[in-house]
Each structure stands twice: as C-alpha cells, then as structure tokens.
Structure 1
Amino acid sequence: MSLSWIYTKDLKNFIGQKIIYKGWVWNKRSSGKIAFLQLRDGTGFVQGIAEKSTLGEDVFSDIKKIRNESSVIIEGEVQKDDRSPIGVEIIVKKIDILNQPEEDYPISNKEHGIDFLMENRHLWLRSRRQFHILAVRNEIIKAVREFYYNNNFTLIDTPIFTGSIGESAGNTFDIEYFDYGKVYLAQTGQLYLEAACMAHGKVFNLGPTFRAEKSKTRRHLIEFWMNEAEVAYYTHEDNMNLQENLISYIIEKVLERAKEHLIALDRDISKLEKIKAPFPRMTYTQAVEVLQKKGYSIEWGDDLGAEHETELASQYEKPLIVEKYPKNAKAFYMQPDPENPEVVLCDDMLAPEGYGEIIGASERIWEKEILLKRLEESKLPKEEYEWYLDLRKFGSVPHSGFGLGIERTVAWICGLNHIREAIPFARTLYRVYP
C-alpha cells in the first residue's frame, strides 16, 4: 500500500499511521544511538526521531553529518507526544536526503545583527519567528478580502503608474514614461477608487504603494501594501463605522485562525481579544488639548507626531479614532466640515500599544468648485486632474473612503518592534537587496 504525503498541520490526524513527510531539517541534535531532527515543511514544525537500530549504521552516520536546511523525504510513523506544541512527533523509518548544503547554513541559532539578517532575508524567512509573522500576515489579508466580499464590495485593481499625485509631490518616485513624459509610482489608489465607486457603489483594492520619504523610523517603509475602500453616498460617520467593523473582523478572524502563531510570537492574546467595535473617538482639537495638559509643546494646526499618537492611544485598550484635522494639514480632496470649514471631515485610526496610525480616511469633496479651489490652494496642476474633476461634473455624490496600512497592521497584531519584519522583503531608505 502506498503511503500518503502528509503536511505538518495535518499530522495530528494520523497518529499511529505510517506517512511520507517532505521538508527541511532546520536543526538537529544527536546523542549516541538516537538523533532528534527538527523538521519544517511550510505548514509548521515537528520533531523527527531517528534511531540507529532502525535505520542501520550507514544511514544513521549520514544523519549525524546532515547540515541545517538539508531537504529530505521521510517515511515514518506519527506518534503522539504531549510535550510537542503540535502534540505529535515522527518516528523515522526511512530518510532520503535530496540536497545537502555545500556549507554550513549562515543563519545559525546564535544571535545575529539586524544588518546581517536583512542581507540574508531570503534565508531568514525560513526561521520560526519569520514563519509565524508571515502566517499571521496571510490571515490578515485573507480577512480583509473576506470582509469586503461579505459586505458586497467589488475589487478594483488600481494602477501603479499614475500621472496624478494623490498625496504630496515631494514624496513620489517619478519615472520617464516613453513619450508621455513624467509619471509616478502610486502613493495611493484612492482617486481611481473614487471613479470606480461611481460605477459599483462599494469598492476596494489591495496592492503595493510607494512613498519616497527619507524616514528611518520603525513605522516606515518605502514600498508597502495598502488596502483602500471607497463608498458612494457614505458620510464621514458611515466611514468611521466601516473602519471599526473592518478592524474588528480582522482581529476576530486572526484570533480564530492564527492564534497558535501569535502564541509562538509571545503575543499577549488578551489585549487583542478586547478589540471590538465601537472604538473611542476624539477630535483633533480635543487631542491637542489633551497633549497640552500633559506638557507637550504643540499648537493647534501642528501635525501629530509619533510621540503624540503614542501618548493619545496609550489611554485606551482599543484603537483610537482622531477626527476633524485642520484643513491645511491634510490632502486637497478632503471635504470641509460644514460646521467649521477650517477643519475637514477626516480621521486617523491609531493602534494601541504605541503602533501609531493604521488607517487614514476622509469624506471626499464632491462639489466641483470646492475641489478646484483646493487644487489651486495646494498648487496642483488642474490639467492633470481633469478626469478627477469629471467625476464632479457627471452625477457627483457625497462619498467617503480610507486606506489601511497592511504592514502597520501586521506589526501591531504580531507585537513587532519594527515594521521591516512585517513584509517578506522590506524596502527601506538604505535597502533594496535582496
């Protein structure tokens, strides 16, 4: 009878049965006539027990010489093991070493500096910690997509090359685009989602975005992934409710499907279990007053820095929504507050535990003349936004949307010290290799 190839995640269902296991040896130790192989296969980690009496002198000698990250195919029997995190181990009956590395694996169990690890990111991804982080990231992205499909949104893939600047011209990468002239790597897909929501009502995207910011903080990447949503006829209040529901759903599903990964990362699960809508809210004006009372040197109109966001959010166990920022501190497309035109109907969602802004959002300007005035005030060329102005000429309606930073969300949920671990291959101010 032929044996079945079983992945680590399913081994608990095959206790007492003989199986085939295909993976890599990420560590080993041997003692006399027995070797303990730490195995991984992309779905988890398990221990293999190799005994000289079972395998014979020659095979056991090869196992004792095996290097970390050798690829192997094993025939073995699944055995219950209460000491194992997954409850089982494999008794090795036969082993085929497909590839034995020519030299010792560079990432050993000893401590390595971050520069070394980033230089070897293509190999560092194989480590247990990185495996668990990216498994959580996968569940976050899965939950994002599910949330929108469950709520009747349509996926719109927005362009990477764009002739229209969505945020700030000073933070763009520009490229010569054949005979067309200069175009930019997208900072956001928002403007295109605004066009699409006039066709489909409720739309979202998920893809890479680029910010040419010379920032070296633990919260910033040059290339990062963003989820954006846009909904026709949604008010500022509708928009904030949508954001709360999205974050609550993401947390719920990650706890449901990836709790073991969070535990492996030593994440305090109890803090995440408290994240359920509704979230606390305050206006920008109230935020400035709170900061001033706490001794911070900040005036109305100043931007909120990382230390300000951390201080504000530290008062709450859930994400904090700060709304209605000064008009001059925000992008040109944000709708002025009819009760106070000096502020706009926008919000930032600040994650607790010092992780800062994870969502930026606003109700959009939907009247052509107001948008023209804001373009002029922002010194942006009207001709590059003719198509965007068209949206205000033909059946314009109030509409709102937001952008969720995937890596910041991953960093917060996993409890990471730096955002560079939240993406497979980080692009930072000084790194584009590997």
Structure 2
Amino acid sequence: MQDAEIRQLPELVGQEVRVRGWLFNKRSSGKLQFLIVRDGTGFLQAVVFKPEVPQKVWEDAEKLGQESSLWVVGTVREDKRAPGGVELTVKELEIYQLCQDYPITPKEHGVAFLMDNRHLWLRSRRQHAIMRVRNELCFAIREFFYKRGFVLIDSPILTPAACEGTSTLFQTDYFGEKAYLSQSGQLYLEPAAAAHGKVYCFGPTFRAEKSKTRRHLMEFWMVEPEVAWMRFPELLDLAEEFVSELVARVLDRCQEELKRLERDTSKLEPATRRPYPRIDYADAIAKLQAKGFSVQFGDDFGGDEETALADESGKPVMITRYPAHIKAFYMEPDPQDPTRALAVDMIAPEGYGEIIGGSERISSYELLEQRIREHNLPREAFEWYLDIRRYGAFPHSGFGMGIERVVAWLCGLDHVRETIPYPRMLYRLYP
C-alpha cells in the first residue's frame, strides 16, 4: 500500500493506496455507500460495500458528516463515469475528525453568508476551480518573463510617497513619519531596469478607492514589467504577446476547471490570436459618440464605454495616446502632440474592463521635474526617482496588469471578490 494523491490515481489502477482528505459529499443505496472524498488535488468516489468491509468501517462511513477529515484505503478501479475516471473500492477507513453541522451545505446561500465564511467557502468545487486557474495564471506569468530574461525585483509595500496621486492611498504611521501602502511597484522598478535591463515585480498593491463595483478590490495583486530602451510601439507588442500567451496557457492547462465553471471558452479563443485591435484615443471617442455616448475628448472611459469599445472583435482592445492630463505624471508625451501621452490601456471583452495600463516613461530630467511640480507632488520624496534621469537617463517602458480582473475574465465571473482567497472590499475586512 502507498499514500497517493487523487490526481495520481489514474496511473495507479489495480493498486492498493491510501488517500487522505475530507468528505465532500456522500450518498447511499442499500448495501453501498458512495463517499466523495477531496484532497485538494481532485475529487474521488470511494465505494464502501457492506459485505466486504468490517462492521466498524461500515458504521464509520454511515456517521461521516460533510467535511469530516479521514483517510481511506482501497484498490483503485477504472470507472469512466466516476470523477477523474477512477474510483476506490474501500477496504479500510479511519476518521481523523468527525464533523457535523458544516455551515456551507449543498443548498443555496447568500453572498454575505458565503463571504463571512470565506475560509470555508474556499473548499467548494467552484472556488477550488477558480483558485486553480489563478495558480496556473500566476505560474505562467513568472515563466513568461523568466524565459525572456527578465529579473524579478521585489518592490517595497511601504513607501514614502504616492505613485499615481494621493487620493487613493492607505496611510500608516512609520515611527513618527507618514508611510503609505504601495499603489504600484513601478517607480522602484525603473532603477532596477537601469541595473538589469528587463525586470518585473509581482505582488500585492493597495488602492483606497471607495468603490463598490464588481471590478474593484482594496487589495489586489499586480504584475509589472519594465524594460530599458523599449519604446512605445514595442511596449504594445509585449503587452499583446503577454496576454495572448497567458490566455492560450490557461485554455490548454485548465480545461477541467473551466468546464466546472461552465465557462464558454469559445469567447476566450479569439484572445489567443494576435494582433489585437489598436485604437487611438481620439478615434475611440469618435466611435463612442457614433454609438450615442455623451463622452467628450478629454474624458476618461467608464465601464460602459470600455465594454462598447472591446466587444466589437471579441479580443482585448488597446486604446492608445490618452490626453496627458488624465494620466500619471511620469508618462512620456507623444512627440506628435505633447498634450497626449504615450499611454495604453488594454480593455478585455465581455465587460471585464481594463486589465493592463502602461506607457513609455519620461526620460528627461527637466520634464520629469516639471511634471512633479505640476502635479503638486513633494519634491523631496522623489529625489531618488529623479536620480534615474540625473545619472544615465535612458528611454524605458512598462505596464501593470491586475491579476484579479484577468482571473475574473478567464473564469467568466460576475465579481472579482471570488478571484482572490480573502477579498478586501469597501465594507469587508473579515475574515
């Protein structure tokens, strides 16, 4: 007998194994009990046949409650109808902890109840599938950059200044000084790009944005590459290559999870094919006005406008060259029209909104100094950032991608609260 994970069982047909896990569900029929056991790697039907097991094994199986922890010993048998294509003929069963009155039952529960019990809700089939997709996406991101020679740089979470303005910062005391939870690792990546050429960071970011929309969290994870000597057109190519490869990877490796989520994968397949539509901001305004939107040049786009722009092709759409005044202070002006920035937002289809925001960065010391002044930012907090232009200035570009919105899009979810293990929202800090 050997210990085995459920995911390994199709390769162990005919062998005797021990599986450790939790009772997900059960049903009985006369002298048969069908135990659905989960161990984190999959779900297994374990069959207890009364005439072939000791009386205690039968009685223990009868009294098991949902989410009781246990282990079962038996022979792996092929059964195409069972989860994973195999089932276990049980010989032994031992209860580690008998569980009764588990709060989350197969019946319907309200969102508030499920969120209050998020620590338990994570065990459900749906949440299990979502976290598996997230896991695959995160691994694919790291592999994408590793294969291309990027160096991982861990940017600090506690920072002395804002990256994109102070209105959405979480402030904290840092031994008598003001400190803030990071909105982005980008500013700290730019010096690292001067050291390594191609770098990225991947970690939690925080926005104190008082929003209750289905797209917003107070704490989320973001991946941000930064590349020395990269100009704006190359940045667009990198973002497009990045997203198309990630979508293809998830479609290939998460088929079972997407099926469990009832995701219509035909709606994702166009995103695996390049190129993506690229629309100048001015043209996007004209398109929206033609569709009856009241948006004017100089306005930022809301959710309805983003959806209208992205749903024409079924692919993500890249909106470029926004007015500089609605973008961050560090973005390089368009040389053809300095009132606009060399900036891009990638909008996912099906109403999932912006998943990437990026730009070429200002490389001129004088211009960056001017922008810091114009945005009323504290000069002393950005002296180190100005040093990047003071000592060996170079053109460089980068973008940020929020993981949760991408997971929501890939899984076809209505709200980002299910895309992260413990969501932090406007009125939720528990559990």
TM range (shorter): over 0.9
Map 1:322-337 onto structure 2 (within 5 A).
322-337=319-334
The counterpart of 2:78, out of the listed 69, 77, 80, is 80
1:33: Cα distance to partner? 1.2
Whether 2:410 is the aligned partner of 1:420: answer no
SS of residue paired to 1:274: helix
CA contact (8 A) 2:45 2:83 kept: no
Map 1:110-125 onto structure 2 (within 5 A).
110-125=107-122
Report the Cα distance in structure 2 between the residues aligned to 1:419 and 1:200, rounded to whole angstroms. Answer: 34
Map 1:289-304 onto structure 2 (within 5 A).
289-304=286-301
The counterpart of 2:256, out of the listed 249, 253, 260, is 260
1:46: Cα distance to partner? 1.4
Counterpart of 2:268 in structure 1 is: 272
The counterpart of 2:132, out of the listed 132, 135, 138, is 135
Map 1:85-104 onto structure 2 (within 5 A).
85-101=83-99, 103-104=100-101
Report the Cα distance in structure 2 between the residues aligned to 1:197 and 1:414, rounded to whole angstroms. Answer: 33
Counterpart of 1:213 in structure 2 is: 209
Count of residue pairs brought into register by the alignment:
430
Report the Cα distance in structure 2 between the residues aligned to 1:54 and 1:251, rounded to whole angstroms. Answer: 48
Map 1:27-42 onto structure 2 (within 5 A).
27-42=25-40
1:56: Cα distance to partner? 3.0
Report the Cα distance in structure 2 between the residues aligned to 1:246 and 1:85, rounded to whole angstroms. Answer: 34
Amino acid at match of 1:15: V
SS of residue paired to 1:38: strand
CA contact (8 A) 2:6 2:42 kept: yes
Question: Any gaps of 5 or more consecutive residues in structure 2?
Answer: none
Summarize deviations over 1:247-272 as a string: whole Å, max 9, x none.
11211221222111111111112222
SS of residue paired to 2:400: strand
1:164: Cα distance to partner? 2.0
The counterpart of 2:49, out of the listed 48, 51, 76, is 51
CA contact (8 A) 2:151 2:199 kept: yes
Amino acid at match of 1:306: G
Map 1:101-250 onto structure 2 (within 5 A).
101=99, 103-179=100-176, 181-250=177-246
Amino acid at match of 1:323: T
Amino acid at match of 1:396: A
Report the Cα distance in structure 2 between the residues aligned to 1:277 and 1:226, rounded to whole angstroms. Answer: 23
1:55: Cα distance to partner? 1.7
Whether 2:374 is the aligned partner of 1:377: answer yes
SS of residue paired to 1:219: coil
Amino acid at match of 1:24: W
Counterpart of 2:69 in structure 1 is: 71
Summarize deviations over 1:353-397 as a string: whole Å, max 9, x none.
110000000000010111111111111111110000111111101
Report the Cα distance in structure 2 between the residues aligned to 1:55 and 1:131, rounded to whole angstroms. Answer: 32
1:25: Cα distance to partner? 0.4
Amino acid at match of 1:246: F
Report the Cα distance in structure 1 between the residues aligned to 2:293 and 2:269, rounded to whole angstroms. Answer: 32
Summarize deviations over 1:401-426 as a string: whole Å, max 9, x none.
00010001110111111100000000
Counterpart of 1:284 in structure 2 is: 281
SS of residue paired to 1:296: coil
Report the Cα distance in structure 2 between the residues aligned to 1:135 and 1:233, rounded to whole angstroms. Answer: 36
Report the Cα distance in structure 2 between the residues aligned to 1:354 and 1:216, rounded to whole angstroms. Answer: 16
Amino acid at match of 2:190: E
Counterpart of 1:320 in structure 2 is: 317
Amino acid at match of 1:421: E
CA contact (8 A) 2:12 2:76 kept: yes
Summarize deviations over 1:193-245 as a string: whole Å, max 9, x none.
01100110000010000000000000000000000010000001111111111
Report the Cα distance in structure 1 between the residues aligned to 2:75 and 2:124, rounded to whole angstroms. Answer: 26
Give the CA RMSD over aligned residues.
0.9
SS of residue paired to 1:412: helix
Q: Which moved more, 1:25-34 or 1:213-222?
A: 25-34
Report the Cα distance in structure 1 between the residues aligned to 2:229 and 2:189, rounded to whole angstroms. Answer: 14
Q: TM-score, normalised by structure 2?
A: 0.98
1:57: Cα distance to partner? 2.9
Q: Which moved more, 1:256-265 or 1:123-132?
A: 256-265
Counterpart of 1:18 in structure 2 is: 16
Whether 2:394 is the aligned partner of 1:397: answer yes
Question: Any gaps of 5 or more consecutive residues in structure 1?
Answer: none
Report the Cα distance in structure 2 between the residues aligned to 1:236 and 1:84, rounded to whole angstroms. Answer: 52
Report the Cα distance in structure 2 between the residues aligned to 1:413 and 1:261, rounded to whole angstroms. Answer: 11
Report the Cα distance in structure 2 between the residues aligned to 1:348 and 1:54, rounded to whole angstroms. Answer: 63
Report the Cα distance in structure 2 between the residues aligned to 1:255 and 1:91, rounded to whole angstroms. Answer: 33
Report the Cα distance in structure 2 between the residues aligned to 1:149 and 1:62, rounded to whole angstroms. Answer: 50
Report the Cα distance in structure 2 between the residues aligned to 1:66 and 1:84, rounded to whole angstroms. Answer: 21
Counterpart of 1:343 in structure 2 is: 340
Counterpart of 1:411 in structure 2 is: 408
Report the Cα distance in structure 2 between the residues aligned to 1:204 and 1:39, rounded to whole angstroms. Answer: 40
SS of residue paired to 2:73: strand
CA contact (8 A) 2:60 2:93 kept: no
Report the Cα distance in structure 1 between the residues aligned to 2:61 and 2:6, rounded to whole angstroms. Answer: 21
1:337: Cα distance to partner? 0.2
Q: Which moved more, 1:373-382 or 1:352-361?
A: 373-382
1:305: Cα distance to partner? 0.4
Q: Percent identity?
A: 52
Amino acid at match of 1:374: R
1:18: Cα distance to partner? 1.1
Report the Cα distance in structure 2 between the residues aligned to 1:40 and 1:274, rounded to whole angstroms. Answer: 34
The counterpart of 1:310, out of the listed 307, 311, 314, is 307
